[in-house]
Structure 1
Amino acid sequence: MTTTSEGAAGGAGRPTGGLSLAVAVARRVHLDGASKVQVAAELGITRFKVARLLDMAHEAGLVRTVVAAPAETDEALEQALRERYGLRHVVVTTDAGDDPAMARLRVGRLAAEWAEHVVADGDVVGLAWGRTMSVVHEHWRRRVAATFVQLAGSLVRADVDRNGPELVGSFARRSGGRAALFYAPLLVADATTATALRADPAVADALRQADELTKALVAVGAWSEGRSTVFDALPLDERNALRRAGVCAEVTGVLLDAEGRVVDDLADRTLAVTADQLRRADHVVALAVGVDRAVAVRAALRSGLVDGLVTHAALAAAVLAGDRA
């Protein structure tokens, strides 16, 4: 926030009488960072008089407050997304050419900054896993007595440094909090196997903690190879069958169609947070990188599963453009 003190009549001429002193006081407090006590001592007046002079400067229109967005974010796209989808929190980083690695770095860092500001002692924080979440982890420095919950089982991916339990465990250690994690796959062959795994104490604890989520960071996957862990784990016939059923997006194991409706064909075979658990959380922020995820991100924003988004300008613009088409 930048605060500037100006003369009367939009800065033309020098104000007279009490306004001159009001401007001097406003400059010392707002521009120089002096306290009211310091200014009172300098001018030989009481701090209550300083407060009255500050009020006078504001009432006379001599002080103007400007809230400036960081240079690396796109305020117009953020506002457009908030208004279109009713989101509580949006951060859109400016693009760095066509470099997806740089976009992921920026998105992950800004997501970490958001989380460090809002996660408090006693929170139950759900965490997805993947490349962008790995960046969030690398930028996390906050010490906070929160519980960090693994939102979905893991699958082996060569392009991801840490799997789900490793990521959640490291977040908890860095924070001084508690981890609710488990070693089990995201997707299994049949419902019987999934039921047996859900009975495992570690799996049961993590999935039970998901009922208490206060905040969560989730990933948005597109229904294509290399863009969704569920898609990559399925044989071709099941991928195609789900595509025919309308699936175009995955949010931490929850499948969605283009209108944001849940497609629960695999629900009995997945070890992950449910759509209902995400909807009950106080605050769920989605992370997304890559213009090829525009349809998937649009579905996630329509679903009611998330109320926040951290992304980059090219993807944000594509999401909005597709909604206008």
Structure 2
Amino acid sequence: MRQILDIQKRLLPDLTDVLKKRYTILHHISSTGVVGRRALATHLELTERVLRAEVDFLKEQGLLITESSGMKLSDSGRKLLEDMEPIVKELLGLSYLEDTLRERFGLRQVIIVPGDSDQSELAKKELGRVGAAELRKYASKDDVVAVAGGSTLAEVANFLTPSAHMKGNLFVPARGGWGESVELQANSIASIMAKKTGGEYRLLHVPDHLGEEAYVSLMQDPNILEIVEVIRSARVVVHGIGDALVMARRRKSDPQTIGELVAEGALAEAFGYYFDKQGKVVHKMPTVGLRLEDIQASEVVIAVAGGKSKGEAIAAVMHFGHDDVLVTDEAAAVELMHYI
């Protein structure tokens, strides 16, 4: 297939552009469910005249259905979109990036979605959709699944659906809560994932950022200790990746701690641990939840993170070497190539 696509790029470049454009239209409608023509034109930065012509063509092919609330994909449109995905990945060079990053970082699987989630809400939603698909793929009956917080993991939760083999899963937060929006905290995401899949959930009602004395005291509480032991037994871990200094400031770390992170070369944060460019842990916060040894003992660790701005941070966590699956976007993947 790659050879055929290379020939097409050279002899019929206009056809390639048309294919990408129509794929993007179908893909956006798929991600939003139902969308109006004007909103779609604005999001895709197309004139309404150009979009109208494309939509009319797609309707004639039986790929779109128009309702009073907007446009949505037909069953044929959904099937075609699935069939087009590997072709579009080849056209965009994403298959090559996936293979290269998987090999260089020693991962089980790398999945790259088009776009830059720093700039495109569609790309971020696609990270969530693919992240949800990977979780369904690797989770098995009666698993304990530990999930972190953040906006990307919230998108993963939104795309989960009832699943027979996930019905008995127990979803737990990977760590305690912290000062961001309640809906982005690990507790909330664990409960949404459970409700979406028909599973169960347990919550951890403690702050994420603790002093040593508070940490020791909490870990002596039998109720806290019991849920923490469940969290640390997780077979599957799903997490995001943050920029070290951004995350430290969001956690209201004091100036001395931030200065230490800078001096130590911290680039990335995940699970409450801070990593340098070699993937070495240079700083950790006292946190009630998953520890590094628990992550290393988990059977499947899935990272879902994207955006050009996070390329170096994602590379740092991948160099740590305990993730099995990476779901990222095109912009982050291109940046990752500089750090392999």
User: Is the TM-score greater than 0.5?
Assistant: yes
Matched residue type, 1:316? A
Contact 1:104 1:135 in 2 (8 A): yes
Query: Which TM-score applies when normalising by structure 2?
Result: 0.68
Give every structure 1 segment of 4 or more consecutive aligned residues whose post-TM-superposition deviation is greater than 4 Å.
none
Choose from 302, 306, 315 the match for 1:289. Answer: 306
Secondary structure, aligned partner of 2:318? helix
| Mapped pair 1:82 → 2:82 | no
Choose from 275, 281, 306 the match for 1:262. Answer: 281
Shift of 1:265: 4.6
Choose from 212, 217, 221 the match for 1:196. Answer: 217
Matched residue type, 1:319? L
Aligned to 1:320: 337
C-alpha distance after superposition, 1:256-315 (max 9, x if no partner): 12111122453xx22231111111111101111221212211111111221211000110
Contact 1:109 1:135 in 2 (8 A): yes
- Aligned in 2, Cα 1:206/1:296: closer, same or farther, shift over 3 Å? farther
| Mapped pair 1:124 → 2:141 | no
Provide the alpha-carbon RMSD of the alignment. Answer: 2.5
Aligned to 2:57: none
Aligned to 2:237: 216
Identity of aligned residues (%): 23
| Mapped pair 1:173 → 2:192 | no
Matched residue type, 2:202? A
Matched residue type, 2:145? V
- Aligned in 2, Cα 1:96/1:276: closer, same or farther, shift over 3 Å? closer
Matched residue type, 1:275? L
Contact 1:95 1:314 in 2 (8 A): yes
Contact 1:187 1:233 in 2 (8 A): no
Write out aligned runs for 1:26-105 (5 A).
69=86, 71=88, 74-95=94-115, 99-105=119-125
- Aligned in 2, Cα 1:195/1:76: closer, same or farther, shift over 3 Å? same
Choose from 143, 160, 167 the match for 1:140. Answer: 160
- Aligned in 2, Cα 1:175/1:192: closer, same or farther, shift over 3 Å? same
Structure 1 residue ranges without an equivalent (≥5): 2-65
Shift of 1:162: 3.7
Secondary structure, aligned partner of 2:232? helix
Aligned to 2:31: none
Please give the alpha-carbon distance, in whole angstroms, between the structure 2 residues aligned to 1:97 and 1:258.
Answer: 22
Shift of 1:70: 6.2
The count of residues paired between Structure 1 and Structure 2 equals: 253
Shift of 1:129: 0.9
Q: Give the helix-richer structure, 1 or 2.
A: 2
C-alpha distance after superposition, 1:85-114 (max 9, x if no partner): 110021100116962422211111110011
- Aligned in 2, Cα 1:265/1:134: closer, same or farther, shift over 3 Å? closer
Matched residue type, 2:291? T
- Aligned in 2, Cα 1:70/1:134: closer, same or farther, shift over 3 Å? farther
Secondary structure, aligned partner of 2:188? helix
Please give the alpha-carbon distance, in whole angstroms, between the structure 1 residues aligned to 2:223 and 2:291.
Answer: 17
Give 1 or 2 for the bigger CA radius of gyration. 1
